[in-house]
Amino acid sequence: MEVIVLPTAADVDMRAADVVAAQVSRRSDTVLGVATGSSPLGTYRELARRQHEGELDLTRISCFALDEYVGLPVGHPACYASVLERELARPFGLPKGRVRVPDGSRPDLERACCDYEEAIARSGGIDLQILGIGANGHIGFNEPTSSLSSRTRVKALSAQTRLDNARFFDDPADVPTHCLTQGLDTILEARRVLLVAQGEHKADAVAAAVEGPVSAMCPASVLQFHRAVTVVVDEAAAAGLALTDYYRFVADAEHRLRQEDA
């Protein structure tokens, strides 16, 4: 696992955008896995800026969302299909249909989950999965005690997640109780993973994910099994890490190597 600790949240946005941009430069029709929530918004805005300034062409990528609420009416401003249309598809200039989201409005939710897995497989699989992390260690909406080998499925949201996400709704009681989420095993199949976290409220979750034991109590810790994970955090989110000096040493050494190669 590569852990990059940067001074500020703005630095996290820039570095995460660099990782995505490098992937898209390698493969213009990259399949991106995309998180919603606050953590990746600055990254999406920086990518949109680069696209706008002609520094990057994102128009050939396609995207799969991590998750979606169950039961929100189509077009509800807080549903992840709407959020990704607003924050990603439009600013990136993606044609319709290029951002797919699990369909939480279908009567047959099990079928919707299977269809979603099939759509990811048909696309050739996710090249780079962007993740945030919940304060309780969830990734996607795989709440603590989720099976480490779970696939896309219906999941009940924890009380903490519903509270954390109440800021996106007029009334906390409007936060749905259930969602569809890619499973932990689905996430592990992505070829690369980029996790971003900012702020002290993420410090415990980041420490448990990166340095704790692999445990369903911290679902993000399953990423320790993945070969190509980059974690980009600001100092506040890194506050619980024991090995920050080592991560900095590794990052500096790699930077020096890159400069020698150039």
- Smallest gap, in angstroms, from Cβ of residue 88 to ligand F6R? 12
Active site residue 136: yes
Tell me how far apart the alpha carbons of residues 20 and 34 are, in angstroms, rounded to a whole number: 11
Q: Sort strands 229-234 and 192-197 into parallel, antiparallel or unpaired.
A: parallel
Q: Residue 149, exposed/middle/buried by CB under 10 A (0-12, 13-18, 19+)?
A: exposed
Alpha carbon dihedral 86, 92, 93, 94, in 10-degree steps, equals -80
Side chain identity, residue 94: L
Q: Which residues pair with 247 in a beta bridge?
A: none
**189 catalytic residue (yes or no):** no
Query: Rule CB under 6 A: is residue 139 a binding residue for ligand F6R?
Result: yes
User: Contact at 8 Å (CB) between 194 and 130?
Assistant: yes
Least Cβ distance, residue 255 to ligand F6R (angstroms): 28
Residue from 132, 137, 176, 183 touching ligand F6R (CB under 6 A): that is 132
- Contact flag: residue 136 with ligand F6R (CB under 6 A): no
Least distance to ligand F6R from the beta carbon of 197, Å? 8
Q: How far is CA 142 from CA 24, 152, 161, 237, in A?
A: 27, 10, 11, 20
Closest to ligand F6R by CB, 51 vs 136, is 136
**C-alpha–C-alpha distance, residues 204 and 185, integer Å:** 23
Residue 35 binds ligand F6R (CB under 6 A): yes
Nearest distance, CB of residue 131 and ligand F6R, angstroms: 6
Q: Which of 13, 15, 20, 39 binds ligand F6R (CB under 6 A)?
A: 39
The correct pick among 33, 137, 140, 176 for binding ligand F6R (CB under 6 A) is 140
By CB under 6 A, is residue 138 in contact with ligand F6R? yes
Interaction site with ligand F6R (CB under 6 A): 35-39, 66-67, 132-134, 138-141
